Amino acid sequence: SDRWVNSVAFSPDGRNIASGAEKGPIKIWDAESGNLILTLDINRYGIDSVAYSPDGRNIACTNGDHTIKVLDMENGGALLGSVDLTNRTIIGNTDYVDPKSVAYSPDGSKLA
């Protein structure tokens, strides 16, 4: 069971919804019908946060393995890249880093 959903995001065109669950994969849903379109099983830790890029081509996600992953939605959700934040510092934060949320900049060039 996926348990509860931690995060949802509309695609920029409003046609799809991505959801990330505590113990489950990322799921892509048809926003109008509610039908499941795609399941992306990318790790064993579950998903904390999902965000579509402004152009809708990618989804970024955070999860319990201290990474931010970027998935190529034009290629069935294939992994484009992953940033491991274990033992890293982020500007203004010198404490333990375990991202629980992710967002794209308006032009899609950066992740926060």
Q: What pLDDT, on the 0 to 100 scale, is given for residue 28? A: 97
> pTM score, two decimals?
0.85
CB 99 within 8 A of CB 49: yes
pLDDT in tens, 49-100: 999 999 999 999 988 777 889 999 999 998 888 877 666 555 555 555 567 8
DSSP assignments along 47-106, one per residue: EEEEEE-TTSSEEEEEETTSEEEEEEGGGTTEEEEEEE-TT--BTTB-S--------B-T
pLDDT value of position 104: 92
- Counting beta carbons within 10 angstroms of the beta carbon of residue 98, is it exposed (0 to 12), middle (13 to 18) or buried (19 or more)? middle
Burial of residue 31, with CB atoms counted within 10 A of its CB: 0-12 exposed, 13-18 middle, 19 or more buried? middle
The two three-digit tokens of residue 97, written as one number = 């880093």
